[in-house]
Structure 1
Protein backbone atom coordinates (compact mmCIF):
# COMPACT_ATOMS: atom_id res chain seq x y z
CA UNK A 1 0.00 0.00 0.00
CA UNK A 2 1.59 3.26 -1.11
CA UNK A 3 -0.33 5.66 1.05
CA UNK A 4 -3.26 5.81 3.40
CA UNK A 5 -6.50 5.71 1.46
CA UNK A 6 -9.58 7.68 2.45
CA UNK A 7 -12.66 5.57 3.19
CA UNK A 8 -16.23 6.41 4.10
CA UNK A 9 -17.00 7.54 7.67
CA UNK A 10 -13.42 8.37 8.66
CA UNK A 11 -12.34 4.77 8.05
CA UNK A 12 -8.96 4.45 6.40
CA UNK A 13 -6.39 1.79 5.74
CA UNK A 14 -2.69 2.28 6.20
CA UNK A 15 0.46 0.20 6.10
CA UNK A 16 1.36 -1.07 9.55
CA UNK A 17 4.56 -2.20 11.20
CA UNK A 18 6.20 -3.19 14.45
CA UNK A 19 5.09 0.09 16.05
CA UNK A 20 1.49 -1.14 15.72
CA UNK A 21 1.96 -4.34 17.76
CA UNK A 22 0.26 -2.91 20.86
CA UNK A 23 -2.83 -2.13 18.77
CA UNK A 24 -2.69 -5.51 17.02
CA UNK A 25 -2.63 -7.33 20.35
CA UNK A 26 -5.41 -5.15 21.81
CA UNK A 27 -7.63 -5.72 18.77
CA UNK A 28 -6.91 -9.45 18.64
CA UNK A 29 -7.60 -9.89 22.36
CA UNK A 30 -10.92 -8.09 21.95
CA UNK A 31 -11.99 -9.77 18.71
CA UNK A 32 -10.92 -13.40 19.25
CA UNK A 33 -12.77 -15.18 22.04
CA UNK A 34 -10.19 -17.20 24.00
CA UNK A 35 -12.47 -20.24 23.96
CA UNK A 36 -11.43 -21.03 20.37
CA UNK A 37 -7.62 -20.71 20.50
CA UNK A 38 -7.31 -18.61 17.33
CA UNK A 39 -5.23 -15.67 18.60
CA UNK A 40 -1.50 -15.42 18.06
CA UNK A 41 0.95 -14.39 20.73
CA UNK A 42 2.83 -11.11 20.62
CA UNK A 43 6.08 -12.96 19.87
CA UNK A 44 4.45 -14.80 16.95
CA UNK A 45 3.26 -11.50 15.47
CA UNK A 46 6.56 -9.74 16.08
CA UNK A 47 8.49 -12.68 14.65
CA UNK A 48 6.64 -12.81 11.35
CA UNK A 49 6.60 -9.07 10.60
CA UNK A 50 10.21 -8.83 9.39
CA UNK A 51 9.93 -11.85 7.07
CA UNK A 52 9.98 -11.37 3.31
CA UNK A 53 6.57 -10.87 1.75
CA UNK A 54 4.76 -10.12 5.01
CA UNK A 55 2.49 -7.10 5.23
CA UNK A 56 0.43 -5.62 8.02
CA UNK A 57 -2.48 -3.35 7.14
CA UNK A 58 -4.20 -1.31 9.84
CA UNK A 59 -7.77 -0.01 9.71
CA UNK A 60 -8.22 3.27 11.56
CA UNK A 61 -11.50 4.99 12.45
CA UNK A 62 -11.14 8.58 13.61
CA UNK A 63 -7.37 7.99 14.03
CA UNK A 64 -7.99 5.01 16.33
CA UNK A 65 -6.88 1.54 15.21
CA UNK A 66 -9.94 -0.73 15.05
CA UNK A 67 -8.71 -3.55 12.84
CA UNK A 68 -5.80 -5.16 11.06
CA UNK A 69 -4.89 -7.76 8.46
CA UNK A 70 -1.63 -9.70 8.39
CA UNK A 71 -0.73 -11.38 5.10
CA UNK A 72 2.19 -13.06 3.41
CA UNK A 73 2.85 -13.29 -0.31
CA UNK A 74 5.48 -15.64 -1.67
CA UNK A 75 5.86 -15.92 -5.42
CA UNK A 76 2.36 -16.54 -6.82
CA UNK A 77 0.66 -17.40 -3.53
CA UNK A 78 -0.77 -15.11 -0.88
CA UNK A 79 -2.23 -16.08 2.49
CA UNK A 80 -4.34 -13.98 4.80
CA UNK A 81 -2.73 -15.04 8.07
CA UNK A 82 -4.77 -12.98 10.54
CA UNK A 83 -7.56 -10.48 10.34
CA UNK A 84 -9.49 -8.89 13.19
CA UNK A 85 -11.73 -5.93 13.96
CA UNK A 86 -12.40 -4.89 17.55
CA UNK A 87 -15.92 -5.69 18.67
CA UNK A 88 -16.96 -2.02 19.00
CA UNK A 89 -15.76 -1.37 15.43
CA UNK A 90 -17.50 -4.30 13.78
CA UNK A 91 -20.26 -3.59 11.31
CA UNK A 92 -18.60 -0.42 9.98
CA UNK A 93 -17.06 -2.04 6.90
CA UNK A 94 -13.50 -2.37 8.19
CA UNK A 95 -13.40 -6.15 7.77
CA UNK A 96 -14.66 -5.94 4.20
CA UNK A 97 -12.14 -3.20 3.35
CA UNK A 98 -9.30 -5.25 4.85
CA UNK A 99 -10.30 -8.32 2.81
CA UNK A 100 -10.65 -6.27 -0.38
CA UNK A 101 -7.28 -4.66 0.29
CA UNK A 102 -5.67 -8.07 0.89
CA UNK A 103 -6.98 -9.24 -2.49
CA UNK A 104 -5.82 -6.09 -4.28
CA UNK A 105 -2.35 -6.16 -2.70
CA UNK A 106 -1.92 -9.87 -3.45
CA UNK A 107 -2.94 -9.42 -7.07
CA UNK A 108 -0.63 -6.37 -7.42
CA UNK A 109 2.24 -8.55 -6.17
CA UNK A 110 1.47 -11.19 -8.80
CA UNK A 111 -0.29 -13.75 -6.61
CA UNK A 112 -2.65 -16.02 -8.49
CA UNK A 113 -3.59 -18.25 -5.53
CA UNK A 114 -5.09 -16.52 -2.49
CA UNK A 115 -6.12 -18.47 0.55
CA UNK A 116 -6.88 -18.33 4.27
CA UNK A 117 -7.88 -20.56 7.13
CA UNK A 118 -10.77 -19.84 9.42
CA UNK A 119 -12.34 -21.69 12.32
CA UNK A 120 -15.34 -23.68 11.22
CA UNK A 121 -18.38 -21.78 12.47
CA UNK A 122 -16.68 -18.37 12.58
CA UNK A 123 -19.15 -15.71 11.42
CA UNK A 124 -16.42 -14.20 9.19
CA UNK A 125 -16.90 -17.09 6.75
CA UNK A 126 -19.80 -15.22 5.13
CA UNK A 127 -17.56 -12.17 4.61
CA UNK A 128 -14.92 -14.30 2.88
CA UNK A 129 -17.50 -16.06 0.74
CA UNK A 130 -19.01 -12.73 -0.36
CA UNK A 131 -15.50 -11.76 -1.54
CA UNK A 132 -15.32 -14.91 -3.68
CA UNK A 133 -13.57 -17.37 -1.37
CA UNK A 134 -14.83 -20.97 -1.39
CA UNK A 135 -14.03 -23.95 0.85
CA UNK A 136 -11.11 -26.04 -0.41
CA UNK A 137 -10.18 -28.19 2.56
CA UNK A 138 -10.49 -28.84 6.26
CA UNK A 139 -7.93 -29.28 9.00
CA UNK A 140 -9.47 -31.40 11.71
CA UNK A 141 -8.88 -30.23 15.30
CA UNK A 142 -6.56 -27.43 14.10
CA UNK A 143 -7.36 -24.88 16.83
CA UNK A 144 -6.84 -25.83 20.45
CA UNK A 145 -8.89 -23.89 22.99
CA UNK A 146 -7.73 -23.09 26.50
CA UNK A 147 -10.07 -25.76 27.86
CA UNK A 148 -8.45 -28.39 25.61
CA UNK A 149 -11.31 -28.64 23.12
CA UNK A 150 -10.34 -28.74 19.45
CA UNK A 151 -11.97 -26.88 16.56
CA UNK A 152 -11.64 -27.54 12.84
CA UNK A 153 -10.17 -25.01 10.44
CA UNK A 154 -11.63 -24.55 6.96
CA UNK A 155 -9.26 -23.58 4.17
CA UNK A 156 -10.79 -21.11 1.74
CA UNK A 157 -9.40 -20.12 -1.67
CA UNK A 158 -10.33 -17.24 -3.94
CA UNK A 159 -11.87 -18.47 -7.16
CA UNK A 160 -12.14 -15.26 -9.13
Structure 2
Protein backbone atom coordinates (compact mmCIF):
# COMPACT_ATOMS: atom_id res chain seq x y z
CA UNK A 1 0.00 0.00 0.00
CA UNK A 2 1.38 3.47 -0.80
CA UNK A 3 2.37 5.94 1.88
CA UNK A 4 -0.51 8.17 2.93
CA UNK A 5 -0.87 11.67 4.36
CA UNK A 6 -3.92 13.33 5.85
CA UNK A 7 -4.85 16.95 5.05
CA UNK A 8 -3.51 19.24 7.75
CA UNK A 9 -1.26 16.55 9.23
CA UNK A 10 2.47 16.96 8.46
CA UNK A 11 3.07 13.28 9.17
CA UNK A 12 2.96 10.46 6.63
CA UNK A 13 1.64 7.00 7.52
CA UNK A 14 3.46 3.81 6.59
CA UNK A 15 1.03 0.94 6.04
CA UNK A 16 1.29 -2.81 5.74
CA UNK A 17 0.17 -4.34 2.43
CA UNK A 18 -3.23 -5.09 4.00
CA UNK A 19 -3.72 -1.44 4.97
CA UNK A 20 -2.80 -1.76 8.64
CA UNK A 21 -1.04 1.41 9.87
CA UNK A 22 2.50 0.67 10.99
CA UNK A 23 4.31 3.95 11.67
CA UNK A 24 4.21 7.73 11.44
CA UNK A 25 7.07 9.63 9.82
CA UNK A 26 8.01 12.81 8.00
CA UNK A 27 9.26 12.77 4.40
CA UNK A 28 11.76 15.43 3.36
CA UNK A 29 14.39 16.15 0.73
CA UNK A 30 17.54 17.11 2.63
CA UNK A 31 19.72 18.77 0.00
CA UNK A 32 19.83 15.79 -2.31
CA UNK A 33 19.34 13.11 0.36
CA UNK A 34 15.81 11.75 0.63
CA UNK A 35 14.85 11.53 4.28
CA UNK A 36 12.30 9.55 6.26
CA UNK A 37 12.54 11.27 9.61
CA UNK A 38 11.21 10.57 13.10
CA UNK A 39 9.83 7.15 12.21
CA UNK A 40 7.58 6.22 15.13
CA UNK A 41 5.86 2.82 15.09
CA UNK A 42 2.20 2.91 16.10
CA UNK A 43 1.43 1.20 19.43
CA UNK A 44 1.43 -2.57 19.10
CA UNK A 45 3.09 -2.66 15.67
CA UNK A 46 5.44 -5.57 15.04
CA UNK A 47 8.87 -3.95 14.66
CA UNK A 48 10.17 -6.59 12.26
CA UNK A 49 7.19 -5.86 10.02
CA UNK A 50 7.77 -2.10 10.31
CA UNK A 51 11.41 -2.60 9.33
CA UNK A 52 10.53 -4.78 6.34
CA UNK A 53 7.83 -2.39 5.11
CA UNK A 54 10.15 0.59 5.53
CA UNK A 55 12.80 -1.14 3.43
CA UNK A 56 10.21 -1.63 0.69
CA UNK A 57 8.26 1.64 0.73
CA UNK A 58 11.07 3.95 1.84
CA UNK A 59 13.85 2.41 -0.25
CA UNK A 60 16.68 4.81 -1.02
CA UNK A 61 15.91 7.10 1.91
CA UNK A 62 17.81 7.82 5.10
CA UNK A 63 15.62 6.74 8.00
CA UNK A 64 15.89 8.36 11.42
CA UNK A 65 14.13 7.12 14.53
CA UNK A 66 14.18 7.58 18.28
CA UNK A 67 13.11 3.95 18.77
CA UNK A 68 16.17 1.84 19.53
CA UNK A 69 14.33 -1.41 18.88
CA UNK A 70 13.35 -0.33 15.35
CA UNK A 71 16.94 0.58 14.50
CA UNK A 72 18.02 -2.77 15.92
CA UNK A 73 15.47 -4.57 13.73
CA UNK A 74 16.91 -2.86 10.64
CA UNK A 75 20.47 -3.74 11.67
CA UNK A 76 19.43 -7.33 12.40
CA UNK A 77 18.12 -7.38 8.82
CA UNK A 78 21.59 -6.67 7.47
CA UNK A 79 21.73 -2.88 7.38
CA UNK A 80 24.34 -0.66 9.02
CA UNK A 81 23.69 1.91 11.72
CA UNK A 82 24.89 5.10 10.07
CA UNK A 83 24.81 7.43 13.05
CA UNK A 84 23.90 7.41 16.71
CA UNK A 85 23.36 10.74 18.40
CA UNK A 86 21.75 12.40 21.39
CA UNK A 87 19.05 15.06 21.18
CA UNK A 88 19.63 17.64 23.95
CA UNK A 89 17.81 20.72 25.29
CA UNK A 90 18.59 23.72 27.49
CA UNK A 91 15.62 25.46 29.13
CA UNK A 92 17.39 28.86 29.02
CA UNK A 93 16.30 29.82 32.53
CA UNK A 94 19.71 29.93 34.24
CA UNK A 95 22.36 30.95 31.72
CA UNK A 96 26.10 31.17 32.27
CA UNK A 97 27.51 34.66 31.74
CA UNK A 98 28.98 35.54 28.39
CA UNK A 99 32.67 34.66 28.71
CA UNK A 100 35.41 37.19 27.96
CA UNK A 101 37.29 36.42 24.76
CA UNK A 102 41.08 36.13 24.61
CA UNK A 103 42.97 39.24 23.56
CA UNK A 104 42.66 39.88 19.84
CA UNK A 105 39.46 37.86 19.37
CA UNK A 106 35.96 39.24 18.82
CA UNK A 107 32.44 38.07 18.06
CA UNK A 108 30.92 39.31 14.82
CA UNK A 109 27.55 38.95 13.14
CA UNK A 110 26.72 35.54 11.78
CA UNK A 111 27.47 34.82 8.16
CA UNK A 112 29.58 32.70 5.86
CA UNK A 113 32.91 33.32 4.20
CA UNK A 114 35.86 31.47 2.68
CA UNK A 115 37.82 31.48 5.95
CA UNK A 116 34.97 29.70 7.71
CA UNK A 117 34.67 27.18 4.90
CA UNK A 118 38.38 26.35 5.13
CA UNK A 119 38.35 26.26 8.94
CA UNK A 120 35.40 23.91 9.23
CA UNK A 121 36.78 21.65 6.51
CA UNK A 122 39.89 21.32 8.67
CA UNK A 123 37.89 20.85 11.89
CA UNK A 124 35.68 18.10 10.44
CA UNK A 125 38.38 15.69 9.37
CA UNK A 126 38.01 12.01 8.38
CA UNK A 127 38.02 10.91 12.03
CA UNK A 128 35.26 13.29 13.13
CA UNK A 129 32.17 11.43 14.46
CA UNK A 130 30.06 13.10 11.76
CA UNK A 131 32.62 12.38 9.06
CA UNK A 132 34.58 14.83 6.92
CA UNK A 133 33.18 18.17 5.83
CA UNK A 134 31.49 17.91 2.45
CA UNK A 135 30.59 20.41 -0.26
CA UNK A 136 26.98 19.66 0.63
CA UNK A 137 27.57 20.91 4.18
CA UNK A 138 28.73 24.25 2.82
CA UNK A 139 25.77 24.35 0.44
CA UNK A 140 23.32 23.75 3.30
CA UNK A 141 24.73 26.60 5.38
CA UNK A 142 24.74 28.94 2.40
CA UNK A 143 21.10 28.01 1.76
CA UNK A 144 20.15 28.98 5.32
CA UNK A 145 21.88 32.35 5.10
CA UNK A 146 20.98 32.94 1.46
CA UNK A 147 17.28 32.19 1.34
CA UNK A 148 16.21 30.68 4.67
CA UNK A 149 16.16 27.07 3.45
CA UNK A 150 14.95 25.04 5.32
CA UNK A 151 14.69 27.75 8.01
CA UNK A 152 16.03 31.30 8.29
CA UNK A 153 18.87 31.99 10.73
CA UNK A 154 18.05 33.41 14.14
CA UNK A 155 20.20 36.50 13.73
CA UNK A 156 20.68 37.36 17.40
CA UNK A 157 21.83 33.83 18.23
CA UNK A 158 24.28 33.46 15.32
CA UNK A 159 27.86 34.69 15.42
CA UNK A 160 31.31 34.35 13.92
CA UNK A 161 34.51 34.59 15.93
CA UNK A 162 37.44 36.40 14.31
CA UNK A 163 41.06 37.02 15.25
CA UNK A 164 43.08 40.21 15.19
CA UNK A 165 43.68 39.65 11.48
CA UNK A 166 39.92 39.81 10.85
CA UNK A 167 39.74 36.24 9.59
CA UNK A 168 36.81 34.12 10.74
CA UNK A 169 37.90 31.08 12.76
CA UNK A 170 34.59 29.61 13.90
CA UNK A 171 30.86 30.19 14.08
CA UNK A 172 27.54 29.16 15.52
CA UNK A 173 24.52 28.93 13.23
CA UNK A 174 21.21 28.94 15.05
CA UNK A 175 17.59 28.99 13.86
CA UNK A 176 14.26 29.01 15.57
CA UNK A 177 11.63 28.09 16.11
CA UNK A 178 12.19 25.04 13.95
CA UNK A 179 9.51 22.78 12.44
CA UNK A 180 11.16 19.42 13.12
CA UNK A 181 10.74 19.44 16.92
CA UNK A 182 7.57 18.78 18.87
CA UNK A 183 8.44 21.53 21.36
CA UNK A 184 9.01 25.22 20.62
CA UNK A 185 12.74 25.80 20.58
CA UNK A 186 15.70 27.35 18.85
CA UNK A 187 18.14 24.92 17.27
CA UNK A 188 21.90 24.89 16.72
CA UNK A 189 22.42 23.86 13.11
CA UNK A 190 26.21 24.05 13.25
CA UNK A 191 28.90 25.00 15.74
CA UNK A 192 32.57 24.70 14.86
CA UNK A 193 35.98 26.23 15.44
CA UNK A 194 38.98 25.92 13.12
CA UNK A 195 41.89 23.87 14.52
CA UNK A 196 44.13 26.97 14.59
CA UNK A 197 41.77 28.58 17.12
CA UNK A 198 40.83 25.60 19.28
CA UNK A 199 41.73 25.42 22.97
CA UNK A 200 40.98 29.12 23.58
CA UNK A 201 37.42 28.79 24.84
CA UNK A 202 35.94 30.14 21.61
CA UNK A 203 33.51 27.25 21.17
CA UNK A 204 32.10 27.91 24.63
CA UNK A 205 31.79 31.62 23.87
CA UNK A 206 29.87 30.89 20.68
CA UNK A 207 27.58 28.42 22.44
CA UNK A 208 26.78 30.78 25.32
CA UNK A 209 26.14 33.57 22.81
CA UNK A 210 23.59 31.32 21.06
CA UNK A 211 21.92 30.59 24.39
CA UNK A 212 21.57 34.26 25.29
CA UNK A 213 20.43 35.16 21.77
CA UNK A 214 17.79 32.44 21.74
CA UNK A 215 16.35 33.60 25.06
CA UNK A 216 16.40 37.24 23.90
CA UNK A 217 14.34 36.14 20.88
CA UNK A 218 11.67 34.85 23.26
CA UNK A 219 12.27 31.13 22.70
CA UNK A 220 11.92 28.91 25.77
CA UNK A 221 14.51 26.27 24.86
CA UNK A 222 17.61 25.68 22.75
CA UNK A 223 18.16 22.27 21.18
CA UNK A 224 20.93 20.46 19.40
CA UNK A 225 21.98 17.00 18.30
CA UNK A 226 25.44 15.62 19.08
CA UNK A 227 26.90 12.42 17.65
CA UNK A 228 28.25 9.70 19.91
CA UNK A 229 31.96 10.11 20.72
CA UNK A 230 31.94 13.80 19.75
CA UNK A 231 34.06 15.53 22.42
CA UNK A 232 31.76 18.58 22.14
CA UNK A 233 29.32 16.62 24.32
CA UNK A 234 31.40 17.63 27.36
CA UNK A 235 30.89 21.29 26.50
CA UNK A 236 27.13 20.89 26.21
CA UNK A 237 26.96 19.06 29.52
CA UNK A 238 29.06 21.74 31.23
CA UNK A 239 26.62 24.57 30.40
CA UNK A 240 23.52 22.66 31.45
CA UNK A 241 22.13 20.92 28.36
CA UNK A 242 19.99 17.90 29.27
CA UNK A 243 19.48 14.65 27.36
CA UNK A 244 16.08 14.43 25.72
CA UNK A 245 16.29 11.30 23.56
CA UNK A 246 18.48 9.21 21.28
CA UNK A 247 18.40 9.63 17.49
CA UNK A 248 19.48 6.74 15.27
CA UNK A 249 19.83 6.78 11.48
CA UNK A 250 20.04 4.00 8.89
CA UNK A 251 20.41 4.27 5.13
CA UNK A 252 17.78 2.12 3.40
CA UNK A 253 19.11 0.58 0.16
CA UNK A 254 17.37 1.47 -3.13
CA UNK A 255 15.35 -1.13 -4.97
CA UNK A 256 17.26 -3.41 -7.29
Which bin holds the TM-score, normalised by the shorter protein? Answer: 0.7 to 0.9
Q: Which runs of 5+ in 1 are unaligned?
A: 1-5, 145-160
SS in 2 for 1:8: coil
In structure 2, what is the Cα distance between the partners aligned to 1:46 and 1:54? 14
Task: Find out whether 1:15 has 2:123 as its counterpart.
Answer: no
RMSD of the alignment, in Å? 2.1
Deviates more, 1:125-134 or 1:68-77: 68-77
In structure 2, what is the Cα distance between the partners aligned to 1:90 and 1:71? 20
Q: Which runs of 5+ in 2 are unaligned?
A: 1-99, 179-183, 252-256
1:120 alignment counterpart: 228
Structure whose residues are more often helix by fraction: 1
Runs of 4+ in 1 over 6 A off after TM superposition: none
Deviates more, 1:56-65 or 1:91-100: 56-65
In structure 2, what is the Cα distance between the partners aligned to 1:42 and 1:22? 10
1:21/1:42 contact within 8 Å kept:
no
In structure 2, what is the Cα distance between the partners aligned to 1:16 and 1:113? 20
Q: Look at both structures and tell me which one has the larger radius of gyration over its CA atoms.
A: 2
Give how far 1:31 is off: 0.8
In structure 1, what is the Cα distance between the partners aligned to 2:206 and 2:198? 12
Structure whose residues are more often strand by fraction: 1
1:154 alignment counterpart: none
Q: Specify which structure has the bigger relative contact order, considering alpha-carbon pairs within 8 angstroms and separated by 6 or more residues.
A: 2
1:46 alignment counterpart: 142
Match of 2:170 among 57, 67, 89: 67
TM-score for both structures, normalised by structure 2: 0.49
SS in 1 for 2:113: helix
